[in-house]
Chains A and B, each alone.
Chain A
Amino acid sequence: MATVAEMPRETQTFTTVRTPDAAPRPVKVRGENVNVFYGAKQALFGVTIDIPEKAVTAFIGPSGCGKSTFLRCLNRMNDTIVGARVEGKITLDNRDIYDTDLDVVELRARVGMVFQKPNPFPKSIFENVAYGPRIHGLARSKTDLEEIVVSSLQRASLYNEVKDRLHEPGTGLSGGQQQRLCIARAIAVSPDVILMDEPCSALDPIATAKVEELIDELRTNYTIIIVTHSMQQAARVSQRTAFFHLGVLVEEGPTDHIFTNPIEKRTQDYITGRFG
């Protein structure tokens, strides 16, 4: 059987099986019929999804299915990739983020991102966290800035580990600490949404547990979207799960529902480890 991606475009159908929450949350981010192309190659096919506010949404799916691609649409990081093109509509709080008079710089301040590999700047821990507030002029004074840095580090549950060495290089921390530093850096500009692309894939189990715990805490204040290859992680941290396959959003619904009785055959196969 030909996969959807291999079929001629006119005949492709991108039906997504959707299961709503029992108690629906307000929508924060909405994607409508999103297509993404890298040059001539199409990576996403008509993705439509509502992402609820102040909850963790997990994107799962086999490698190369377009999870990162969709995530990068949400803060327009695809703009920085030569040849990438996004079609369709994505809204944040009902505003089209691809609107021409929307400032991409402001968008990215509201939609933070944490990458797969921790990428602290080669600056001190303090400077890493202060970077965002500085460029956006969020702190009026030096004490303001210090306050922001300390509270961000506290929210990222890193403060106690680094409070004596705020002025040492951020690159000198352990991998897990570096990743939490990157989360603190993202929090420091007080975003609404935090995107995380496999934030634990470079971490050991203990550091992973810490980051997961952190994600669970952050959920009360932020809308979080996390891409993960670990089914257990998705089950542990997320409230909703979206399953992608070959550039198509196959199924999305409450996490316990997706993991206990998925409707789509492909979802079933994936979470039971039959492919991917």
Chain B
Amino acid sequence: MIGYAFLLILAFSAVAYFVGRSTGSRFVATAGGKVHSLPGYHGAFVALWVGLPALLLLLLWVSFQGSAIDRMLLASLPETLTAGKSASEIDLIVSEIKNVAAGRMFSQPSADIVTVAERLQGWHAIADWAMIVVAACLMIVGLVLSRRLLSPRFRARNVVERIISGLMIGCSVIAILTTLGIIVSLIYEAAAFFRMVPFTEFLFGLRWEPQIALRPDQVAGQGAFGAIPVFVGTLLISFIALLVSVPIGLFTAIYLVEFADERVRAVVKPVLEILAGIPTVVFGFFAILVVAPAVRDFSNVLGLAASPNSALAAGLVMGIMIIPFVSSLSDDAMKAVPRSMRDGSLALGATPAETMTKVILPAALPGIVGGILLAASRAIGETMIVAMAAGLIASLTINPLDSVTTVTVQIVTLLTGDTEFDSPKTLAAFALGLVLFLVTLTLNIIALQIVRRYREQYD
């Protein structure tokens, strides 16, 4: 039904456009050069006045129809069904009614339920039709009113421009509001967690054993929520990843910018883009199946003991994942250094390598550092690879051959499986998420600030 409503609005708007445009053309024919706007703008003006309010109405209607009908349904439930039932049992009955109304029947429903379900179906039909009728009326009113506004001197062009920019503002507001909503819910849940576990214990505690009992009969640990081992694990893996990706990515970029000829560039760049496009899950099993065994064998040869899911393996693979990121950002930073700098250095008799290290790199350094910070924030927030290849046990160590866990891995494990939203175990995930969010946000802001300041230097 909603699909038809959209089609109707589209069709109406198209009609409105042509109506407006023909009015505009008539103005041009009669008033000549004194008409302010081109006929197309008159058309767009009318179309916007017809389409937008109807669209808005549709959205509101759809978002409130469900709850309104639910309330009516609850109020109209016969005594026979609700007598002596608890709230959750009534919920069950309501969902059964909805299922029956939607034609999903698993067993023969009782007669009472069938009557209520039929009534519900009727309401839905009425609501749908009412929506279409109201929308149509609104569109007709819009058409009539906006046509009345048209005149040769009417500034349709400016008004359309304003409406469109209003629409764009609306879109960006939606994006911002969503972000705010996510942050608020994070803070809300994290606050609930900090009511159960002291803030200082979370930030400075050295033991992380969140698997506490959800039900009294479960056998589980006491629970400890000191996040330091998790943070250290995250930093260790990210550090290994940067250790891999920064040199490789940077040197790749230097090579591509300064030394590679056109043909090499034509091959290497797309290959790097492929690397950037590989899903992280794939990197994850690459880590498990190839890198982790290799790390273990290699350290055995050296006489060292490596755990099967060592931080080194996860970090190496994560490093490979962010190579294209580092290289493309450094590439951009170096390309942004004006050619005249390079020419100036070469004309003084510097070799390309001297030009690179003494002129281009220093000039591009802020951009490169910004890129590395962005890569770091990527590494810290990366989930899939570590969820597959890193450990679950939070041990406080900086030995890369040991198994460590990360913030993202803990969030995943805390929120999958048996969960209950008022236990500190589950809420801890939100506290971790909040910390993760704050750290990556800070990194991103610093990085973007650096990159921006440096861009201003040359433009």
Chain A contact residues, CB within 8 Å of chain B: 75, 77, 80, 82, 105-109, 112-113, 115, 117, 119-123, 131-132, 135-136, 171, 182, 185-186, 189
Contact = CB atoms under 8 A, between A and B. Distances in A.
Interface in B326-382: 338, 340-351, 354, 358-359, 362-363
Contacts, number: 64
Contact of B341 (A121, A135, A136): A121
Contacts of B348: 108-109, 112, 131-132, 135, 185-186, 189
A119 B340 contact: yes
B459 interface: no
Given A108-B347, A121-B345, A189-B349, A135 B262 contact: no
A189 B345 CA distance: 12
B350 A105 contact: yes
A121 B359 contact: yes
Contacts of A136: 349
A109 to B, nearest CB: 4
A135 B354 contact: yes
A80 B344 contact: no
B341 A119 contact: yes
B107 interface: no
Given A105-B351, A121-B363, A122-B363, A115 B346 contact: no
A112 B457 CA distance: 26
A109 B348 CA distance: 6
A112 B359 CA distance: 18
Nearest to B454: A122
Contacts of B340: 115, 117, 119
A127 to B, nearest CB: 9
Nearest to A116: B340
26 contacts: A77-B346, A80-B342, A80-B343, A105-B349, A105-B350, A105-B351, A108-B346, A108-B349, A109-B348, A113-B347, A115-B344, A119-B338, A121-B341, A121-B363, A122-B362, A131-B345, A131-B348, A132-B350, A135-B348, A135-B350, A135-B354, A136-B349, A182-B344, A186-B348, A189-B348, A189-B349
B336 to A, nearest CB: 12
Nearest to B344: A119
Interface centre among B342, B348, B354, B358, by most chain A C-beta atoms within 10 angstroms, is B348
Contacts of B350: 105, 131-132, 135
A75 B348 CA distance: 10
B349 A135 contact: yes
Given A82-B262, A119-B340, A75 B363 contact: no
A112 B363 contact: no
Given A121-B359, A122-B362, A122-B457, A77 B343 contact: yes
Contacts of B346: 77, 80, 108
Interface string B27-56: 000000000000000000000000000000
Nearest to B346: A80
A235 B358 CA distance: 39
Contacts of A77: 343, 346-347
Nearest to A188: B348
Nearest to A114: B347
A180 to B, nearest CB: 14
Nearest to A82: B262
A108 B347 CA distance: 6
CB-based closest 6 A-B pairs: A109-B349, A108-B349, A119-B340, A113-B347, A119-B344, A132-B348
A135 B344 contact: no
A112 B345 CA distance: 10
Given A122-B362, A122-B363, A115 B343 contact: yes
Given A115-B340, A117-B340, A123 B347 contact: no
Contacts of B358: 131, 135
Contacts of B341: 119, 121-122
A164 to B, nearest CB: 24
Interface centre among B262, B349, B350, by most chain A C-beta atoms within 10 angstroms, is B349
Contacts of A108: 346-349
A106 B349 contact: yes
B338 A123 contact: no
Nearest to B359: A121
Nearest to B348: A132
B303 to A, nearest CB: 47
Contacts of B338: 119
A123 B362 contact: yes
A75 B347 CA distance: 7
A239 to B, nearest CB: 24
Interface string B256-289: 0000001000000000000000000000000000
Contacts of A123: 362
A206 B349 CA distance: 31
A269 B358 CA distance: 47
Nearest to B457: A122
Given A105-B351, A131-B350, 15 more contacts: A77-B343, A77-B347, A80-B346, A105-B349, A113-B347, A115-B343, A115-B347, A119-B340, A121-B344, A122-B341, A122-B363, A131-B345, A132-B350, A136-B349, A186-B348
Contacts of A186: 347-348
A82 B263 CA distance: 12
Nearest to B360: A121
Interface centre among A75, A80, A119, by most chain B C-beta atoms within 10 angstroms, is A119
Contacts of B354: 135
A119 B343 contact: yes
Contacts of A75: 347
A152 to B, nearest CB: 12
A211 B270 CA distance: 48
Interface string B168-182: 000000000000000
Contacts of B351: 105
Contacts of B363: 121-122
A77 B262 CA distance: 19
A224 to B, nearest CB: 15
A112 B351 CA distance: 14
Contacts of A82: 262
A108 B345 CA distance: 10
Contacts of A131: 345, 348, 350, 358
A24 to B, nearest CB: 30
Nearest to A117: B340
A33 to B, nearest CB: 25
B165 to A, nearest CB: 38
A112 B350 CA distance: 12
Nearest to B458: A122
A113 B457 CA distance: 24
